[in-house]
Amino acid sequence: MIKTRSQRIKRMNVVDAIDVRSQVSVKSTRYCKKLSKYLAELQLAESKKNPSFILCPTMGPAMKLYLMDARSFRRSLLNTIDPSQKSHEESMYMVSSYNGLICCVNEICDEDVQNKFCDLQIWICNPCTRETLLLPQGRPSFGFVPSVGVAYGSDISDYRIFRIFCIRKKIPIEKVTVKGYYYQEGEVVYTLAYECEVYSSSNGSWKNIGPVPCFPMRSAVRPFRSGHIFVGGKIYWLASLDEPGEILSVDLEGKFEVINLPEYPDGIHGEETITDATYLMNLQGSLSLFVLHPSYMDIWVWKHDGEKYSWDPLLTEKTPIKDEELVITVSSLKNKIICLTDTQWRVYDMGTKKWKKIRSPSTGFRNPAVFPFTESIRPCNGGVGQ
């Protein structure tokens, strides 16, 4: 059967799409932009049929990225990202992946004020085309490295970066109360507060959306308070594991909400409840919680019963993860859950209910990152200038 031109385009991979785009005359800028977006949409739709994982085994100044097949878990080098605009010798860390773009961060500090103001360089990168976009700097954060979360709209060109940072304001000493966060320099007292600003790909600028009810927790194994997921139109961060435990969420419109972690039955205490090895997951399109206990795991799913949302226990299964292993990150794709520890790579198949050990180099404590990934030719600037 003879294939139509449309059918041939739909089967194109990233290399084919880039080649077609490069051969288009630049005489009509408007036409080129429309064609580029059309090609990107077609190519992305095809890539979504066969998603993979994107992996950065080690956080370093030059970020080596690998594709990992979702079935065989074989790795192949995709590209090395090392932008010239990056602050000198700082290590880049991948914090999210969606529709072919990844978000990466690296730390910078203002030495002129004794390192009290900290910030992140935030990058949007396309690992397939090696295009990188450095976002404009946000408002300085006082004594607190900002926390970042990435959300994506229904249009493939739409993304938003939520950046939670710390501000300080002078207050009279008589207004200091027991509650709140304070900082004193000599006779001057400052109150500390956490606010959020949003970068939109549609206009290429930051907008302050005000205070946040709580802030993402620090993790010993993930830098920059960066552990978050995007699912169902919302970003979720773990905020606290102390009972009752909290998750901070925000939707695309900037509305924040705090969700309590699931409650275990009466009589269950200690390591049989929420543990330090608790991770958020996007499991088959639902907000999920992976809780690792000694020799077994729980998975909870945030479900709507027609009236309200609540935590539903999905499964409890034994794990081969040893007590001395430290789980550094957890990710999922379809019915597979991948756990990277400091010594092993393990995959749980929810269909067969079996664990598999992946042959791969030890990650140690080098801040590895792994996310689901679909190859794409999307531009990093989203809708800016389109």
Predicted TM-score of the model (pTM): 0.86
Residues 287-300 as b or e (16 or more Cβ within 10 Å = b): bbbbbbbeeebbbb
Task: Give me the residue label for tokens 């756990």.
Answer: 339
Q: Is residue 41 located within the same domain as residue 58?
A: no
Domain span including residue 45:
1-49
Q: Is residue 161 located within the same domain as residue 35?
A: no
Q: Is residue 9 located within the same domain as residue 141?
A: no
The tens digit of pLDDT for each residue in 371-382 reads 999 998 888 987
Can you give the pLDDT at residue 364?
Answer: 57
Q: Is residue 17 located within the same domain as residue 64?
A: no
Asked if residue 130 belongs to a domain, the reply is yes
Q: What is the CATH number of the domain that holds 363?
A: 2.120.10.80
Q: Is residue 31 located within the same domain as residue 178?
A: no
Helix (H) or strand (E) holding 336: strand 336-341
Q: Is residue 27 located within the same domain as residue 57?
A: no
Q: Is residue 128 located within the same domain as residue 162?
A: yes
What tokens appear for 9 in the block?
């385009």
Asked if residue 384 belongs to a domain, the reply is no
Q: Is residue 175 located within the same domain as residue 69?
A: yes
The tens digit of pLDDT for each residue in 313-355 reads 999 999 999 888 889 999 999 999 999 988 888 999 999 999 9
Asked if residue 210 belongs to a domain, the reply is yes
Asked if residue 380 belongs to a domain, the reply is no
Asked if residue 257 belongs to a domain, the reply is yes
Spatial separation of the C-alpha atoms in residues 151 and 167, rounded to whole Å: 23
Spatial separation of the C-alpha atoms in residues 126 and 161, rounded to whole Å: 16
Residues 197, 205: contact at Cβ < 8 Å?
Answer: no
Q: Is residue 31 located within the same domain as residue 112?
A: no
The tens digit of pLDDT for each residue in 278-302 reads 999 999 999 999 999 999 999 999 9
Q: Is residue 202 located within the same domain as residue 290?
A: yes
Q: Is residue 117 located within the same domain as residue 260?
A: yes
Q: Is residue 85 located within the same domain as residue 179?
A: yes
**Total structural domains within the chain:** 2
The tens digit of pLDDT for each residue in 211-228 reads 999 989 988 778 888 889
Asked if residue 303 belongs to a domain, the reply is yes
